[in-house]
Amino acid sequence: MRHRPRRLRRTAAIREGVRETRLHPGDLIQPLFFKEDLAESVPVPSMPGINQLPLDRAGEVARQSREAGLGGVIVFGIPARKDAEGSGAWNPDGVAQEAIRRVKEAAPELCVVADTCFCEYTDHGHCGVLRESGEVANDATLDRLARVGASQAEAGADMVAPSGMMDGMVGAIRKGLDSSGFPETAVMAYTAKYASAYYGPFRDAAESAPAQGDRRSYQMDPANAREALRELELDEAEGADIVMVKPGLAFLDVVTRLREAATQPLAVYNVSGEYSMIKAGAERGWIGERELVLETLTGFRRAGADLILTYHAQDAALWLQEMA
């Protein structure tokens, strides 16, 4: 036979030489959960290996992330007190702002992304201000999001990442950053964030489950793909620097569609449910954790993602270094 594809699979050296997709620790961003007034780390039961962290550990985890060669971290804050507006989210001395300052102090060169949303800060668990009807008031939320983004930039965030799927959120935050003296702070937009069943463990970690109702009126319908292109068009026009698809595994087709259409870097969020399923299978001995994690992350890169937000980041970086 003239054509034998197996010739290029015969040895590890040949396979490495012709490999089409590369995965590097610098492609990975580690989510971190900091809880106010916490004295020591608290494991998240539904996410083995992930903890709610006290602020005193911010420097330690920053140095670990830097030494692992990660592309960055994304900071989530859990305040001691919540209210209907989520006002703790823009408090200059809030838990996220203090965590950002401590991370940057310990590892100034580490890229720090700030979660810019309200679900961890509101007493109702939704991503914005509520009307009397219980519906999120889109435009009233935008002004508050701009305040949050500016306070996070002031604390030292390199990027802010609005995740609430409010119409016009990227433009409002961009305007707020520019007018507050932070024109160089980037916006990583959650461009296509779906109302997904994969978020359950995250809501344990971030203590952000809605007290009533759900988020289907503002997050995207998982059945829709073309709609993501419309969201991309809007985010581009409003000044997004990086665009994102969330979740990852069930939406690889959307990742590829956005990669083909977008000029900006593209991120994907390998979410909590995806993480916990692998952890549960590995704990039972049903799957090989290391092999499946690296295959999954490589799949995101192959689909077109430039950056991957993943709870596996620290472990995956270590494995990749061992394989180098």
Q: Which two tokens stand for residue 279?
A: 């952890």
Beta bridge partners of 93: none
Q: Is the pLDDT of residue 133 over 90?
A: no
**Cis preceding linkage at 247, omega within 30:** yes
pLDDT band at 263 (very low <50, low <70, confident <90, very high): very high
Which one of the listed residues 35, 82, 104, 246 is annotated catalytic? 246
pLDDT (0 to 100) of residue 123: 81
Burial of 5 (0-12, 13-18, 19+ CB in 10 A): exposed
Q: Is the pLDDT of residue 134 over 80?
A: no
Sign, CA torsion 166/172/174/180 = negative
Convert the pLDDT of each residue in 178-226 to its tens digit. 999 999 999 999 999 999 999 999 888 888 888 777 888 889 999 999 9
Domain layout of the chain by residue ranges: 22-323
Convert the pLDDT of each residue in 158-183 to its tens digit. 999 999 999 999 999 999 999 999 99
Phi and psi at 156, nearest 5°, equal 120, 5
- Cα 188 to Cα 191: distance, rounded to the nearest angstrom: 9
Residues 79 and 94: beta-carbon distance below 8 Å: yes
pLDDT band at 229 (very low <50, low <70, confident <90, very high): very high
CATH code, residues 22-323: 3.20.20.70
Told to judge if 35 belongs to the known catalytic residues of this protein, a careful annotator would answer: no
The letter for the amino acid at 18 is V
- Cα 301 to Cα 315: distance, rounded to the nearest angstrom: 17
Told to judge if 246 belongs to the known catalytic residues of this protein, a careful annotator would answer: yes
